[in-house]
């Protein structure tokens, strides 16, 4: 039994290490010799990389950040499920996925100063909620197109997840989400709101940066 708990701890820590891989910081160093946290919004995430370095480096960062969340939840947890003591695969996937998100947000490789966790959390959601994920993504894209606020898009998309988990199964004939996954979906918006608390304050003050290139209906100067 002690060996099983040790393997569980190593699995969760390994998931944290996967999430800690500082993609945006490495890309910033290689692309322009800068620490991305010293430029733009100061956030070590894909949106800030796009603002500072352009869409190609941002695409690399977002792709890797999503993969960092997907890998522990979709691959590591199922493969190692039988070697640890937790009897519910969904709970183990949640623990591994969230460990990766914490790794991205508080990366051990960069003084525990990482991104806001949206891309990596997106990878976790893709692994755990493949049916609902496209609809959440559509909410995020529509919000960005209409408002230009990536932070608002992240908050609304995460808040829409539990709603989609409730309303989609009858239409697609899929099984309802397990209780553990449903509870997790209800907690996700609170985490996103916490990591975006400074963005929320800027939104209230009218000082939040807009992603204007994505705004189809913005007024022309």
pLDDT band at 40 (very low <50, low <70, confident <90, very high): confident
Question: What is the average pLDDT across 190-197?
Answer: 92
Rg (CA), the chain: 18
Instruction: Give the per-residue pLDDT at 17.
Output: 97
Q: Is the pTM of this model over 0.85?
A: yes
Q: Please, are residues 37 and 61 in contact by the beta-carbon 8 Å criterion?
A: no
pLDDT band at 115 (very low <50, low <70, confident <90, very high): confident
The whole-angstrom separation of Cα 132 and Cα 163 is 9
Residue with the larger pLDDT of the pair 174 and 13: 13
Instruction: Give the per-residue pLDDT at 1.
Output: 65
pLDDT band at 163 (very low <50, low <70, confident <90, very high): very high
Distance of CA 101 to CAs 29, 81, 98, 113, Å?
22, 20, 5, 13
pLDDT band at 55 (very low <50, low <70, confident <90, very high): confident
In the chain, alpha helices (H): 2-20, 23-32, 46-53, 55-71, 77-79, 89-105, 118-128, 133-147, 150-172, 179-195, 197-205
pLDDT band at 113 (very low <50, low <70, confident <90, very high): confident
Instruction: Give the per-residue pLDDT at 105.
Output: 92
Closest CA to 211 of 51, 29, 6, 75: 51
Question: What is the average pLDDT across 137-158?
Answer: 94
The whole-angstrom separation of Cα 173 and Cα 107 is 40
Question: What is the average pLDDT across 114-119?
Answer: 88
């Amino acid at each position: 039994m002690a060996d099983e708990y040790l393997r569980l701890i190593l699995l969760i820590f390994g998931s944290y290490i996967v999430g800690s891989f500082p993609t945006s910081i490495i890309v910033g160093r290689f692309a322009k010799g800068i620490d991305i946290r010293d430029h733009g919004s100061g956030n070590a995430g894909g949106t800030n990389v796009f603002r500072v370095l352009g869409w190609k480096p941002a695409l690399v960062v977002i792709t890797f950040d999503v993969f960092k969340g997907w890998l522990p939840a979709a691959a590591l947890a199922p493969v190692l499920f039988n070697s640890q003591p937790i009897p519910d695969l969904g709970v183990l996937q949640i623990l591994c996925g969230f460990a990766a998100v914490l790794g991205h947000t508080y990366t051990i490789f960069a003084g525990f100063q990482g991104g806001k966790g949206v891309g990596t959390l997106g990878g976790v959601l893709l692994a755990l909620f493949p049916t609902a994920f496209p609809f959440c993504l559509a909410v995020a894209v529509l919000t960005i197109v209409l408002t230009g606020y990536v932070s608002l898009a992240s908050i609304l998309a995460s808040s829409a997840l539990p709603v989609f988990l409730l309303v989609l199964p009858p239409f697609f004939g899929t099984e309802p989400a397990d209780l553990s996954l449903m509870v997790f979906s209800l907690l996700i918006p609170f985490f996103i709101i916490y990591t975006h608390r400074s963005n929320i304050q800027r939104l209230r003050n009218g000082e939040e940066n807009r992603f204007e290139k994505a705004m189809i209906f913005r007024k022309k100067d």
